[in-house]
């Protein structure tokens, strides 16, 4: 499934000969030409010079099925990729297709969502031409209590995808908000269809604020975008592809044990709360503590001031930095 054309051209940042592309991607010269044409049609500017090859001039505007497939780097996530310029919700589209028997790895991406869903019944704004709305289908053979861990893995993957492309210092506010300079740039909504002891399927939906230039007043103090952090636009197809590829790698590690055992250190390195004072908003009463990092179940280990250590479960409590959101 791996295409990787976009990634290859972006990494080289110079002319790459048709032959080198063909050899690297394991496709024919003719297929290279076709692939270049397909991403051009979606707005990707590729220069072609006889004797030198192809060079990416600008990919920021390109966002569609071909440019996303061109940026995918994994083996199965995105083996079926469908792009919509407008849809109600990418999570809902995955669900509809899952009900008709879609395979694990189905990836739905949209330019804009009319009824984008946030966590806890909130809305997620997704105006045209600016952000990424992506959702994919998983069928993990584990018990339903593993599902929250998948959200943490998704956060790691999105952090990787964003930092690889932009070079920004991207952190995770436990459990799954991606933060840059203390503001939220990504939201993740995991939905699961399951019986008490058996997962039918899981939908992981991710919204990445890429090229948004302003936010509504009520969220402007806590929300940010890659554009606002850097003052330039960024290629959405590439971020989508690299994020999906990173998820695949982390998920493969997760599947070995059905826990985050192999990923705890990576997660804690990215976690902005690790080693910091936090306010734990427990429904039974909020308290301050020092966060140590997550355990292999994805719970946040916190040391209370009275010496007690508590493993905080994401579904039950949330955490704030003592000075605000992070
Ligand atoms: C949050 O509240 O932080 C979660 C937001 C999740 C938004 C994404 S955008 C793609 C996918 N489709 C949806 O309707 N929601 C998720």
The strand pair at 171-173 and 177-180 is best described as: antiparallel
Strands, sheet with 198-208, edge to edge from the N-terminal-most edge strand: 81-87, 107-113, 132-138, 198-208, 183-195, 177-180, 171-173
Q: What is the pLDDT along the chain (326 residues), one digit of tens a residue?
A: 456 788 788 777 789 999 999 999 889 999 999 989 888 887 788 899 999 999 988 776 778 898 899 889 889 999 999 999 999 999 999 999 999 999 999 999 999 999 999 988 999 988 888 999 999 999 998 999 999 999 999 999 999 999 999 999 999 999 989 999 999 999 999 999 999 999 999 999 999 999 999 998 988 899 999 999 999 999 999 999 999 999 999 999 999 999 999 999 999 999 999 999 998 888 888 888 999 999 999 999 999 999 999 999 876 566 776 556 65
- The Å distance, Cα 190 to ligand 1 centre, comes to 8
> Given ligand 1 and candidates 112, 114, 117, which is best to mutate, with the most ligand atoms within 8 Å of its CB?
117
Angstrom CA distances, 22 to 17, 68, 95, stand at: 9, 19, 36
Question: How confident is the model at residue 227, as a pLDDT?
Answer: 96
- The Å distance, Cα 229 to ligand 1 centre, comes to 21
Question: How confident is the model at residue 318, as a pLDDT?
Answer: 67
Pocket residues for ligand 1 (CB within 6 Å)? 89-91, 113, 116-119, 122, 124, 133, 135, 187-189, 205-207
- The conformation of residue 88, written as its DSSP 8-state character, comes to S
Say if CB 176 and CB 151 are below 8 A apart. Answer: yes
For residue 98 the two structure tokens come to 């899952």
Kindly give the number of the ligand 1 atom that is closest to the alpha carbon of 187: 3
Strands, sheet with 287-294, edge to edge from the N-terminal-most edge strand: 309-312, 300-304, 287-294, 277-281, 318-321
Contacts of 141 (CB under 8 A, 6+ apart): 199
- The Å distance, Cα 82 to ligand 1 centre, comes to 17
Long-range pairs for 178-182: beta carbons < 8 A, 24 or more residues apart = 178/208, 179/272, 179/325, 179/326, 180/224, 180/226, 180/229, 181/224, 181/229, 182/324, 182/325, 182/326
Question: How confident is the model at residue 168, as a pLDDT?
Answer: 96
- The Å distance, Cα 66 to ligand 1 centre, comes to 23
Q: Rounded distance, CA 313 to CA 309, Å?
A: 13
Q: What angle do CA 176, 112, 102 make, to 5 degrees?
A: 70
Question: How confident is the model at residue 244, as a pLDDT?
Answer: 97
Compute, in degrees rounded to 10, the torsion defined by CA atoms 283, 121, 134, 202. 70
Say if CB 322 and CB 279 are below 8 A apart. Answer: yes
Question: How confident is the model at residue 1, as a pLDDT?
Answer: 44
Nearest CA to ligand 1 atom 16: 205
> Given ligand 1 and candidates 98, 123, 124, which is best to mutate, with the most ligand atoms within 8 Å of its CB?
124
Cis previous bond, 175, omega within 30: yes
């Amino acid at each position: 499934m791996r295409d990787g054309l976009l990634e290859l051209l972006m990494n080289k940042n110079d002319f790459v000969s048709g032959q080198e592309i063909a050899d690297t991607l394991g496709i024919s010269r003719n297929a290279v030409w076709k692939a270049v044409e397909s991403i051009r049609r979606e707005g990707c500017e590729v220069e072609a010079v006889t004797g030198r090859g192809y060079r990416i001039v600008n990919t920021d505007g390109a966002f569609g099925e071909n440019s996303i497939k061109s940026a995918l780097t994994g083996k199965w996530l995105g083996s079926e990729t469908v792009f919509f310029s407008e849809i109600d919700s990418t999570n809902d589209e995955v669900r509809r297709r899952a009900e008709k028997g879609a395979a694990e790895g189905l990836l739905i991406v949209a330019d804009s969502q009319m009824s984008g869903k946030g966590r806890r019944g909130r809305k997620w704004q997704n105006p045209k031409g600016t952000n990424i709305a992506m959702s994919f289908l998983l069928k993990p053979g584990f018990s339903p209590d593993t599902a929250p861990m998948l959200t943490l893995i998704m956060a790691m993957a999105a952090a990787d995808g964003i930092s690889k492309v932009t070079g920004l210092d991207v952190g995770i506010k436990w459990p799954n908000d991606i933060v840059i300079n203390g503001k939220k740039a990504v939201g993740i909504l995991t939905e699961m269809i399951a019986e008490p002891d058996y997962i039918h399927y899981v939908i992981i939906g991710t919204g990445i604020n890429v090229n948004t230039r302003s936010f509504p007043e009520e969220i402007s103090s806590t929300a940010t975008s890659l554009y606002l952090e850097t003052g330039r636009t960024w290629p959405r197809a590439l971020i989508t592809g690299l994020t999906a590829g990173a998820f695949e790698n982390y998920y493969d590690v997760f599947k070995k044990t059905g826990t985050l055992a192999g990923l705890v250190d990576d997660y804690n390195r990215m976690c902005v709360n690790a080693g910091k004072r936090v306010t734990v908003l427990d429904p039974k009463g909020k308290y301050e503590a020092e966060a140590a990092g997550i355990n292999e179940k994805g719970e946040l280990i916190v040391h209370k001031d009275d010496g007690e250590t508590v493993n905080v479960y994401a579904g039950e409590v949330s955490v704030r930095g003592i000075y605000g959101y992070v």
